[in-house]
Structure 1
């Protein structure tokens, strides 16, 4: 958002916030501080103008007082719009992976989540109710991420949802990304049977992950093993 971007710049520069909220009054014309104040005002004004779109820039290009420009932008844009919240929620629910790689699909989702968080006031205290709400929000994001995955990831989706404690969305993203990389490697290289220990760690961490009883590989179980149920469409071994 426009206001958020400029406010970030203002906080990082010393003694510039006064040019945004109007607390720095213009000194008399003969004041020795006039030149310095006008210089700082011009800097803040340039920050604002470089942070807005071309359409908005055309309406403020002739303004010379940063605080007045900021007040005008705040009046026009710093309002939570119910229609925008609805639009973001709709985009999140309708977003599908389709032909996009996992990383691009996840980046689009995260951008929508971040924009939604900027419009909705979330609890920031450390009480049990606030923590429960944050946990619920993370679970919702995990489900939204899994819902948009292609059908070829049904096995991974079931495994994540069947875990005793649900993974975070970042952990689920890591799992799916690893599966995607594994499939790409198999599609580009000849199938060679090698000892499982060459690629999979026997550490305590990996021992907690689901492991296939057929091929002894983690991240999937016997009921969805490609060697038993067949390879998905698009895989070079698919028949």
Structure 2
């Protein structure tokens, strides 16, 4: 039995801290190592293969806005936006080979997210940045036909044989697509309340579009909602 008065061996220390604190101290270097890896744009996880598909809907001639938003979100999660927006140019020196490898991987991710005809048109580009700009210049400029198409879809969309939930889902999808083409204020300094009033007005428009497309069996409920004050939100 150990005598409490005996000196503490040099390789052994006693602490009054809880087991959870000891565990944190033990795993802290490991956590820091993971954070350091993922914060580096040249880091590639074992799942980051060249066959990875980042988005469910491939780029076509009519969905560039929603496609680019989804791709940008995916690249941000992967910490690879520097290869897309040009903030991580090809270096000279020890990191050049790592840059080439990562650039090639990101390029394959873009190819995997394109329809076959579009992929063939950018197959010989030198860098991910060039491909991204090429696609942006070709398809972002076609927003007015897309806006027209979404407005026409909304004007013709009715419940018909759909359930209320399915009907609302189709409406919500069209609203989201249309919203991706609308200008937004990104300065963060709007204090006059005008933006909120504009958003509230869009909510009223959404409510009206939803009610207009409902089947006649909901006419009584629709009338009650229209007479309700304050106006109901789309939620």
Could you say whether these structures have the same fold, taking a TM-score greater than 0.5 normalized by the shorter chain as the test?
Answer: yes
Deviations 1:78-131 (A, max 9, x none): 236223212211211210110011111111101110011001114564532111
SS of structure 1 residue aligned to 2:183: coil
Q: Residues of 2 paired with 1:51 and 1:5: CA distance?
A: 10
Q: Which residue of 2 aligns with 1:45?
A: 107
Deviations 1:18-74 (A, max 9, x none): 21123333244xx33122111211222122222222321222234341111011011
Work out whether residues 2 and 52 of structure 1, in 8 Å CA contact, stay in contact via their aligned partners in 2.
no
Deviations 1:129-155 (A, max 9, x none): 111111100000000000000111101
Q: How many residue pairs get matched?
A: 167
Which residue of 126, 142, 145 corresponds with 2:210?
145
Work out whether residues 20 and 66 of structure 1, in 8 Å CA contact, stay in contact via their aligned partners in 2.
yes
Q: Residues of 1 paired with 2:110 and 2:162: CA distance?
A: 35
Shift of the 63–103 alpha-carbon distance from structure 1 to 2, 3 Å rule, reads same
SS of structure 2 residue aligned to 1:127: coil
Deviations 1:211-235 (A, max 9, x none): xxxxxxxxxxxxxxxxxxxxxxxxx
Unaligned runs of 5+ in 2: 1-65
Shift of 1:8: 1.3
2:194 corresponds to 1:129: yes
Which residue of 85, 94, 98 corresponds with 2:160?
98
2:144 corresponds to 1:79: no
Which residue of 142, 147, 165 corresponds with 2:230?
165
SS of structure 2 residue aligned to 1:32: coil
Which residue of 75, 81, 86 corresponds with 1:22?
86
Give me the TM-score of the superposition, normalised by structure 2: 0.65
Q: Which moved more, 1:51-60 or 1:144-153?
A: 51-60
Structure number with higher relative contact order (C-alpha < 8 Å, ≥ 6 residues apart) = 2
Work out whether residues 92 and 112 of structure 1, in 8 Å CA contact, stay in contact via their aligned partners in 2.
yes
Work out whether residues 3 and 78 of structure 1, in 8 Å CA contact, stay in contact via their aligned partners in 2.
no
Coordinate RMSD, CA, aligned: 1.9
In the TM superposition, 1:1-239 aligns within 5 A as 1-14=66-79, 16-28=80-92, 31-79=93-141, 81-123=143-185, 125-170=190-235
Unaligned runs of 5+ in 1: 171-239
Work out whether residues 9 and 47 of structure 1, in 8 Å CA contact, stay in contact via their aligned partners in 2.
no
